[in-house]
């Protein structure tokens, strides 16, 4: 059968599995898979993939072994009840392999009251509501349905298919690193993050920093005898604002023209002083700096450190008492897949076909596992999925069912056209 005929069959097959995709998404949402609690959801997902004949590998990463890798970062000291899932479906040969990846961990529901139970997967107005609905349990369900849709039509792929569900994506992509360290690789990868049905061929990285600014305490009645660390921190704040602006101009990338400031440098916390009658001796600034897809974490750190050092050098007190920069146990690698790459073209062609329009290629503002897969696994990985990232991490998070079906259809067709199909 010609590929056009197969395309039509597969799209109908995905459509016929819509109700199952809804139920899988709802079931995944029912597991509160926050940091350290991913086990139940991961075992359920592994069982789904096992039921459609995939070879399952589920394991809790060895934290001591991962610590030896330069990309390792985590805020925890063990991975008990936090396994990674990898499922393989070998092709018949002479085809390219494809990784379908997603992360099972979700952020907490937050303090604001939801209109629905965040762990129920409520159906309403063509949407599924719940924590992780769009980021990214709907995407994981779409990956599963895309594979099942091909199997229901007895389509044999030439290339291997690898489906993975990672952990720790929300705090540094340790799960993706564990997948690579386990030896898994593919010729290309797709992550159905909520991109609003756009191809995000670039993704930002980020570092979380902490800057300690020092002063000298004194009684506030004789404040002139001390050095106010809060006042000194204002100079550092100004330097950070200047750095963000210079990076905005210098690092502007054509895939990020829709973002006024694509690689934001944000200070989110200032803490200094203990008593109103005392000059504060130390002030701490905490924040996040975005990393361009064309720079490494190390290059970003170096620029931050040099800018702070330059600012301190211009102040007599800080020149002798320089600020100290520390980095939090969270960081993400940036990544980029060229628009001319064969996988970019394949994925865009299938998205154009399913959506019946020219699908935009853009850069992803938030971080994803794609940076780690690209930089340390050599896997050209593109983010493509439902809804919009603006809904992620918010109260009453949801995934739009129609966009979820479209996502699964695009992934299923991409499997066919990237991996190849055995002729009957």
The string of pLDDT tens digits covering residues 131-172 is 999 999 999 999 999 999 999 999 999 999 999 999 999 988
Identify the pLDDT of residue 4. 65
Is the predicted pLDDT of residue 1 greater than 50, yes or no?
A: no
Among residues 38, 57, 105, 369, which one is catalytic? Answer: 105
The verdict on whether 187 is a catalytic residue reads: no
Summarised one tens digit per residue, pLDDT across range 62-101 is 999 999 998 898 888 999 999 999 999 999 999 999 999 9
Is residue 329 scored above 90 in pLDDT? no
| 169 is known as an active-site residue | yes
Give the per-residue pLDDT at 46.
98
Cα 63 to chain center, whole Å?
21
Burial class (CB in 10 A: 0-12, 13-18, 19+), 250: exposed
Catalytic residue among 38, 57, 160, 169: 169
pLDDT above 90 coverage of the chain, percent: 92
Q: Residue 394 contacts by C-beta under 8 Å, 6 or more apart in sequence?
A: none
What confidence category does residue 5 fall into, taking pLDDT thresholds of 50, 70 and 90?
A: confident
Residue 182 has pLDDT above 50, yes or no: yes
Pairing, β 98-103 against β 189-191:
parallel
The predicted pLDDT at position 2 comes to 60
What is the band of 422 on the pLDDT scale with cuts at 50, 70, 90?
confident
Cβ 347 vs Cβ 198: under 8 Å: no
Residues 6+ apart with CB under 8 A from 150: 10, 13, 157, 412, 415, 416
pTM score, whole prediction: 0.94
Region 22-28 average pLDDT: 98
Q: Which residues of 268-285 are buried (b: 16+ CB within 10 A; e: fewer)?
A: eeeebbeeeeebbbbbbb
Whether the predicted pLDDT of 106 surpasses 50: yes
Report phi then psi at 284, rounded to 5. -115, 130
Residue 120: CA count within 13 A, CB half-sphere:
10
Return the pLDDT at 405: 98
pLDDT at res. 389? 85
Which tens digits make up the pLDDT trace of 37-47?
999 999 999 99
As a whole number, mean pLDDT of residues 383-402 equals 94
pLDDT digits (tens, 9 = 90+) for 201-210: 999 999 999 9
**Contact present, 82 and 168 (Cβ < 8 Å):** yes
Report, as an integer, the average pLDDT of 224-251. 97
Average pLDDT, the chain: 96
> What is the rounded average pLDDT of the residues 352-356?
97
- Confidence class of residue 3 from pLDDT cuts 50, 70 and 90? low
259/252 Cα distance (integer angstroms): 9
For residue 424, the model assigns a pLDDT of 64
In the chain the domains, ranked by start, together with CATH numbers, are: 3-203+334-419 (3.40.630.10), 205-331 (3.30.70.360)
pLDDT of residue 111: 87
Cis amide bond preceding 136, omega within 30: yes
The predicted model gives 252-265 an average pLDDT of 91
């Amino acid at each position: 059968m010609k590929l056009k005929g197969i395309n039509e069959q597969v799209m109908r097959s995905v459509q016929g599995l819509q109700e199952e995709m809804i139920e899988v998404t709802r079931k995944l949402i029912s597991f509160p898979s926050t940091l350290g609690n991913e086990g139940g959801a991961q075992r359920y997902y592994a069982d789904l993939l096992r039921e459609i004949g995939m070879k399952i590998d589920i394991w809790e990463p060895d934290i001591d072994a991962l610590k030896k890798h330069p990309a390792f970062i985590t805020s925890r000291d063990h991975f008990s009840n936090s396994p990674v899932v990898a499922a393989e479906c070998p092709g018949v040969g002479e085809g390219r392999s494809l990784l379908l990846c997603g992360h099972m961990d979700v952020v907490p529901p937050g303090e604001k009251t939801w209109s629905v139970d965040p762990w129920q997967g409520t159906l309403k107005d063509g949407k599924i509501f719940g924590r992780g609905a769009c980021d990214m349990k709907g995407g994981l369900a779409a990956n599963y349905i895309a594979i099942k849709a091909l199997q229901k039509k007895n389509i044999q792929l030439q290339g291997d298919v690898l489906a993975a569900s990672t952990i720790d994506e929300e705090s540094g992509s340790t799960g993706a690193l564990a997948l690579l360290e386990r030896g898994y690789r593919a010729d290309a990868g797709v992550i159905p993050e909520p991109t609003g049905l756009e191809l995000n061929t670039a993704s930002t990285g980020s570092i979380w920093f902490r800057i300690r600014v020092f002063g000298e305490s004194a009684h506030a009645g004789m404040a002139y005898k001390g050095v106010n660390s809060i006042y000194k921190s204002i100079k550092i704040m100004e330097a950070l604002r200047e750095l963000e602006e210079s990076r905005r101009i210098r690092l502007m990338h054509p895939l990020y023209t829709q973002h006024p400031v694509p690689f934001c440098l944000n200070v989110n916390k200032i803490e200094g002083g203990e008593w109103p009658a005392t000059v504060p001796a130390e002030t701490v600034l905490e924040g996040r700096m975005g990393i361009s897809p064309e720079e490494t974490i190390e290059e970003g750190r170096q620029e931050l450190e040099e800018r702070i050092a330059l600012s301190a050098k211009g102040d007599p007190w800080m020149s002798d008492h320089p600020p100290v920069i520390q980095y939090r146990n969270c960081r993400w690698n940036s990544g980029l897949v060229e628009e001319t790459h064969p996988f970019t073209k394949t994925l865009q062609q299938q998205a154009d076909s399913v959506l019946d329009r020219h699908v935009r290629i853009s850069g992803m503002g938030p971080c994803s596992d794609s940076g780690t897969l690209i930089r340390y696994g050599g896997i050209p990985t593109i983010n493509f999925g439902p809804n919009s990232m603006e809904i992620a991490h918010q109260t009453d998070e949801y995934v739009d069912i129609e966009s979820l079906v479209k996502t699964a259809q695009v992934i299923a067709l991409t499997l066919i056209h990237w991996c190849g199909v055995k002729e009957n």
